[in-house]
Chains A and B, each alone.
Chain A
């Protein structure tokens, strides 16, 4: 523990350089599981079974043929699962952002008894685990025919409203009324005031909530599993679980390829907006 600060002009001591070297090793080890999956996605099935940790060689390397097989492997095309996942994630997030930010503005600015009740119900919903409502929610959404990818965003908005309303309402309280008053004096109706004045000001919270919802919906398993009509619609987590759960022989190479494919969008998303993701996720953690 002799190393604590850098020397002048950002020069690093030997101790600090040693620590860097240690962390290079740990970091590689940390993402090794992912690297092994990617590596195996390009090997033959027998090679994966024989030694999953060996690098592919001339005999065992099959290039991207596992990816081609994986697309149609297991009675349900992977690309439809992927497309449904993308659609459900984007549609649900967009719906949640627009509806809950409007609701939170209404709740904060009107502040009547009904608004207060809705607000506290939203806060309450944040501490309720999904198992509490899993059976009844599945029934309700089946009864209302919400069991398609086009309608499931309604369910996500309903179950996810709590945290989003809470975060938006917290933000609205911190912005001064004067801008909205000015807009109102200039003759803007509430809708116009909201979308041309309030909504743009909410940008930091929109990003935080957006990141949280994208991560939640994209990775969610149980809710879509219970709500969606399984024979017609799957999402990526359901698809992966379905491949694993199916009896008989499992095409390991194809499964590794599909896992790799399912990691690509979220890792790309991470690389592109790492700063926002980390800020958003920690904001949700600290407030929720």
Chain B
């Protein structure tokens, strides 16, 4: 009761001293960001949803076609393949990146000499943007592989996986290091006294304690892979093409390419809406899972 009374009291004071004067300066504080937000996000988003139900080549010539664009998108073999391929890349990179980054983080929290320097080095690829990063590796792959990677689907696939691991292991490692540092020393001590060996301690004490980090990293790698565009474009740009389908094309690249063909723009926008729903669904699942974990802890 006391607490509540106090809060209304301070809210009243807040209202006259802080709230009203700020509210009067709406045009200075909120309006600039809001206008830019409308230009850079809100209006394009609404227009995007609107256009996905229309046939158009430019924004000024639109014709209502109902769900036709969505039907076209579902019937597009290239898009369906891109969805499967994206899921495959996401799945494989999720497992590899998380296992590798956890292993590195685990080893680097064993109090070894130079561990800070090693952490710094592992993080470096993460600073490089997708285009430059992809180009560095394309140059290397071109000289290591017997055949160019744009000719062989499996080369393109594993090439992309290697690039993704190189880029993200350092990042996820940082998150895992933070999680591992928070494992209480007395719990480890107790396990040692009880005679648990390294593996048992890792499995029964360390892993359950760093579960929140594992959840974060799992979803980060997942959404990173689903939204991937730059590296995919630079490494193979979807090639090779077999039976009319670009075999190494991911969803983001497929959508961007469709936009550049004038008579596919309606379908491209419909694909983009489907893509948005998919990515948003992953994010919402992530939020609920993280919240549940937080309550349990």
Which residues of chain A have a CB within 8 Å of any CB of chain B? Answer: 1-6, 12, 16-17, 19-20, 23-24, 26-27, 30-31, 33-34, 36-37, 52-53, 99-100, 102-103, 105-107, 109-112, 115, 118, 121-122, 125-137, 139-141, 144, 146, 154-162, 165, 177, 180-181, 184-185, 189-191, 193-194, 215, 218-222, 236-237, 240-241, 244, 252, 255-256, 259, 262-263, 266-267, 269-270, 274, 277-278, 281-282, 285-286
Q: Is the CB of B30 within 8 A of A118?
A: yes
Q: Is the CB of B22 within 8 A of A107?
A: no
A194 vs B45: C-alpha distance when bound (angstroms): 32
A126 vs B129: C-alpha distance when bound (angstroms): 20
Contacts of A244 in B (CB 8 A): 135, 138, 234
Of B118-126, B147-155, B241-249, the one contacting chain A is B118-126
Cβ of B59 < 8 Å from any Cβ of A? yes
Of B71-79, B88-96, B269-277, the one contacting chain A is B269-277
Cβ of B21 < 8 Å from any Cβ of A? yes
Within 9-26 of B, Cβ neighbours of A (below 8 Å) are at 10, 13-14, 17-19, 21-26
A112 vs B23: C-alpha distance when bound (angstroms): 9
Q: Is the CB of B10 within 8 A of A177?
A: yes
Cβ of B263 < 8 Å from any Cβ of A? no
Contacts of A52 in B (CB 8 A): 139-140, 143
A contacts with B: majority SS: helix
Contacts of A180 in B (CB 8 A): 17-18
Q: Is the CB of B259 within 8 A of A33?
A: no
- Would you give the shortest CB distance from B63 to chain A, in whole angstroms? 17
Q: Is the CB of A109 within 8 A of B44?
A: no
Cβ-defined partner of A139 (8 Å) among B59, B123, B174, B280: B59
Nearest residue in A to B42 (C-beta to C-beta)? Answer: A121
Most buried by A among B32, B43, B115: B32
Most buried by B among A134, A189, A191, A240: A134
Q: Is the CB of B39 within 8 A of A158?
A: yes
Contacts of B38 in A (CB 8 A): 158
- Would you give the shortest CB distance from B276 to chain A, in whole angstroms? 4
Q: Is the CB of B216 within 8 A of A240?
A: no
Q: Is the CB of A27 within 8 A of B21?
A: no
- Would you give the shortest CB distance from A9 to chain B, in whole angstroms? 12
Contacts of A106 in B (CB 8 A): 22, 26, 29-30
Q: Is the CB of A158 within 8 A of B14?
A: no
Chain A to chain B: the 8 pairs with minimum beta-carbon distance, closest first: A158-B40, A219-B129, A1-B198, A103-B33, A136-B44, A106-B29, A133-B44, A158-B36
Nearest residue in B to A194 (C-beta to C-beta)? Answer: B29
Cβ-defined partner of B113 (8 Å) among A17, A99, A121: A17
Q: Is the CB of B41 within 8 A of A161?
A: yes
Q: Is the CB of B175 within 8 A of A4?
A: no
Within 190-207 of B, Cβ neighbours of A (below 8 Å) are at 192, 197-199, 202
Q: Is the CB of B230 within 8 A of A140?
A: no
A131 vs B40: C-alpha distance when bound (angstroms): 13
Contacts of B37 in A (CB 8 A): 118, 121-122, 125, 157-158, 161
Q: Is the CB of A222 within 8 A of B230?
A: yes
Cβ-defined partner of A177 (8 Å) among B14, B121, B126: B14
Contacts of B17 in A (CB 8 A): 180-181, 184-185
Q: Is the CB of B259 within 8 A of A134?
A: yes
Q: Is the CB of A263 within 8 A of B132?
A: yes
Q: Is the CB of B130 within 8 A of A274?
A: no
Given the known interface contacts A158-B39, A177-B18, the answer about A266 and B127 at a Cβ–Cβ threshold of 8 Å is yes
A42 vs B122: C-alpha distance when bound (angstroms): 25
Cβ of B85 < 8 Å from any Cβ of A? no
Cβ of B28 < 8 Å from any Cβ of A? yes
Cβ-defined partner of B29 (8 Å) among A103, A111, A154: A103
Q: Is the CB of B59 within 8 A of A281?
A: no
Contacts of B33 in A (CB 8 A): 99-100, 102-103, 157, 161, 165
Nearest residue in B to A184 (C-beta to C-beta)? Answer: B17
A156 vs B37: C-alpha distance when bound (angstroms): 9
A5 vs B189: C-alpha distance when bound (angstroms): 11
A137 vs B51: C-alpha distance when bound (angstroms): 13
- Would you give the shortest CB distance from B181 to chain A, in whole angstroms? 12
> What are 12 A-B pairs at a CB distance below 8 A?
A12-B111, A33-B140, A125-B37, A131-B229, A137-B40, A141-B40, A156-B40, A181-B14, A240-B135, A259-B136, A263-B128, A286-B175
Q: Is the CB of A157 within 8 A of B40?
A: yes
Q: Is the CB of B30 within 8 A of A146?
A: no
Q: Is the CB of A36 within 8 A of B140?
A: yes
Q: Is the CB of A215 within 8 A of B127?
A: yes
Cβ of B255 < 8 Å from any Cβ of A? yes
Q: Is the CB of B21 within 8 A of A131?
A: no
Q: Is the CB of A144 within 8 A of B127?
A: no
